[in-house]
Amino acid sequence: MNELSTPFVSVIIPVFDDLERLNICLQALEHQTYPKSLYEVIVVDNGSVESVEPIVTRFSRARTSYESRPSQFAARNRGISLAKGEVIAFTDADCIPSPDWIERGVANLLRVPNSGLVAGKIETFFKNQEHPTAVELYENLKALPQKRYIEVGRFGATANLFTFRRVFEHVGLFDDETRSSGDVEWGQRVSSFGYELIYADDSRVAHPARYSFVQLYKVVARKIGGVHDWRQHFNYGRRFLLPSGAYPTRPRTH
């Protein structure tokens, strides 16, 4: 890779009480094919009971911050405020990035003029690969279809997302008052500003499938709550972090 193809990258991970899987995620990020001097990892603790710092300090590329407001998007915005990178990448504490995740994500972001964001493939895996539950099999078919999100929904899930710092400077940060779906609104906002949205099959993270109806219910409830929060913003005429006179697009319902 030459100098023009290797911008500095800031990887941002919000975390709430998921230290065991955070450790696995950070191990994967420690061994990326991207030059080690050209990326950092910012872990934003969003109110965990147990401190994440003892885990994060084991990894040379990682550092910690704290966001007390109970919002994963407030945590991501906190990470953005601390990031040094020209490129900002997002994943979740329970995800396992592939070894070339950063390298592929950056390459896809740079290959398309006027790139607004790259949404990479999210592959699900089972708690017991030999005996998946019915919920896990359902999740494997339905969960986090990034290609459809890009082509139909005009957004990318932050479990696997790359963008430029300048895009945030242009369109604004995530709406940090919503519990969920802030990535939907932000991605649609990026699209409404005329940027290209890209799906990247070769920039991959693995994500655990929910394995019980209780887990699945919690996810659905959180997403419904996020849509409710979102509609409240519109009902009260609130503006997001946008330039004067600009408004986000209305959320899609499918």
In a domain, 248, yes or no: no
In a domain, 118, yes or no: yes
Which residues of the chain fall short of a pLDDT of 70?
1-4, 125-143, 179, 209-254
Q: What is the pLDDT of residue 132?
A: 54
Question: Distance between CA atoms of 63 and 97, rounded to whole angstroms?
Answer: 18
Q: What is the pLDDT of residue 235?
A: 44
In a domain, 97, yes or no: yes
The pTM of this model reads 0.79
User: Which domain range does residue 157 map to?
Assistant: 3-235
SS3 of 109-153: HHHCCCEEEEEEEEEEECCCCCCCCHHHHHHHHHCCCHHHHHHHH
Token look-up 């209305």 returns 250
In a domain, 154, yes or no: yes
**What's 71's domain CATH number?**
3.90.550.10
In a domain, 52, yes or no: yes
In a domain, 242, yes or no: no
Q: What's the token pair of residue 37? A: 């001097």
Identity at 103, one-letter amino acid code: E
Q: What is the pLDDT of residue 107?
A: 97
Total domains, the chain: 1
* Whole-number average pLDDT of the chain: 82
Q: What is the pLDDT of residue 129?
A: 56
Q: What is the pLDDT of residue 124?
A: 85
Token look-up 């799906």 returns 199
Dihedrals φ, ψ of 179, to 5°?
A: -80, -25
In a domain, 204, yes or no: yes
First to last CA, the chain: 40
pLDDT in tens, 158-180: 999 999 999 999 999 999 987 67
Q: What is the pLDDT of residue 81?
A: 98
pLDDT in tens, 104-140: 999 999 999 999 999 999 998 545 455 555 544 444 4
Pure H helices in 18-133: 19-30, 53-56, 72-82, 101-111
